[in-house]
Amino acid sequence: MSIVKLNNRSVKDITAFGSITSLGSLTHIATQTASSSASLSFTSGIDSTYKEYIFYFVNMHPASDKVYFTFQGSTDSGSNYNTTATTTNFSAYHFESDSATELAYRSSDDQAQSTNFINIAQRVGSGNDESISGFLHLFNPSSTTFVKHFISRTSTYNADDILFDVYNAGYFNTTSAIDAVSFKMASGNIDSGQILLFGLN
């Protein structure tokens, strides 16, 4: 007897799932390049044109060692970055020496109805070959009906020879449109790196 069925057919009898005609396409909107920058902010291009916006982080390198990489949203075109948000945060780490590993829920990196900048990468190293790369998805930021969901994933390397893999999900608890987003290190400048903004059709 089949346990799982699709369209009233057992899985073992299914020979094809049909064809996917389109998964959408990415449109490049803007690129910000850091050079001893206090922050990188996108104050235009986030509107009702797309239902999903994706930020790609490429080798974000901090001036200070072992710092958090953070972001926040704005409802006033970047005049203020203090939108109330709730998040959840999971991370894994692995030493190059294979001496220790961990997969954990990080309550200390969560936020509950907070207006602080949101941690999306931890302990980013400032050594010559250390950085953080990853992405953040922001869904339907122009909605005036729903809260604004986001998810991120980042990969970080630092001088302790540790890889950090951090997953963050949350929402901006506002029905106002999010029309600007800012990224910064929790302390110190962003020494170098790029953030690319795309819209998903």
> For residues 29, 31, 37 and 42, what is the CA-based torsion angle, rounded to 10 degrees?
0
Contact criterion met (CB below 8 Å) for 150 and 125: no
Residue 14 has pLDDT above 70, yes or no: no
Whether 6 is covered by a domain: the verdict is no
In the prediction, which pLDDT does 15 show?
56
In the prediction, which pLDDT does 12 show?
52
- Which residues have C-beta within 8 Å of that of residue 139, sequence separation ≥ 6? 51, 52, 148, 149, 150
Report how far residue 69's alpha carbon sits from residue 168's, in angstroms, rounded to the nearest whole number: 12
Whether 185 is covered by a domain: the verdict is yes
Whether 106 is covered by a domain: the verdict is yes
Whether 87 is covered by a domain: the verdict is yes
Whether 186 is covered by a domain: the verdict is yes
Mean pLDDT of 3-29: 61
Q: If pLDDT is split at 50, 70 and 90, which confidence band does 85 have?
A: very high
Whether 161 is covered by a domain: the verdict is yes
Report how far residue 66's alpha carbon sits from residue 162's, in angstroms, rounded to the nearest whole number: 11
Whether 102 is covered by a domain: the verdict is yes
Residue 20 has pLDDT above 80, yes or no: no
Beta strand residue intervals within the chain, DSSP E: 5-6, 9-10, 26-37, 40-42, 52-62, 67-74, 85-95, 101-105, 118-124, 132-139, 148-158, 162-172, 180-185, 190-200
In the prediction, which pLDDT does 94 show?
85
Q: If pLDDT is split at 50, 70 and 90, which confidence band does 161 have?
A: confident
CATH number at residue 68: 2.60.120
Whether 11 is covered by a domain: the verdict is no
Find the domain containing 104 and state its range.
Answer: 25-200
Contact criterion met (CB below 8 Å) for 69 and 153: no
> Reading across the β-sheet that carries 40-42, which strands appear in turn?
40-42, 180-185, 67-74, 118-124
What total of structural domains would you count in the chain? 1
In the prediction, which pLDDT does 1 show?
43
